Amino acid sequence: MSDNHMLFSVCSVAAERVFPLRSKVLLEGNAESCRFRHDENDSTLHLAVYRSDRIVAVATICRESLPGSASDAEWRLRGVAVEARLRGYGLGRLLTKLCLDHAQNEGGRLAWCTARESARGFYETLGFASCAPPFQLPSRPDVLFHEMHCVLPVEAASKAG
């Protein structure tokens, strides 16, 4: 099989399997910052795309309320990372949609994320909208971020036959 044939598989993985790519792609190699709050919660989903035996894309979604909210129906999308040479193939889009499906299946009504300015358009194409002015994080004063929300559809109750 030639290298031009890219075969991928997607699966749920343990939290520590997503850390190396998170660190490399999102955190400039800072391995100490790659662990997120809620990574170890039972309801948290970590997804990875494998190409052969190597992880090339990851995403995580966890039950986490928006700042100032006490809702248990809010989920936070975090750590969406795709190796640079494989961007544009839809891997991040696929992982994000699978994460949103998980949140919805678990009773989620709203998904949210903190998106870099450079990724804002990506999230907008998936139904997220910016809901506040851009801001900077103390850990990354060189990057503008947006809090983005996506309302998850409510599944229609099945009709009794």
pLDDT in tens, 63-75: 999 989 989 999 9
Q: Give me the chain's average pLDDT, please.
A: 89
Tell whether pTM > 0.75: yes
CATH code linked to domain 8-151:
3.40.630.30
Whether residue 135 is predicted with pLDDT greater than 50 in this model: the reply is yes
Provide the residue ranges of all domains of the chain, joining segments of one domain with +: 8-151
In tens, the pLDDT along 105-117 reads 999 999 999 999 9
In tens, the pLDDT along 72-111 reads 999 999 999 999 999 999 999 999 999 999 999 999 999 9
CA distances (Å), origin 45, targets 3, 14, 56, 118, 136: 30, 9, 17, 24, 27
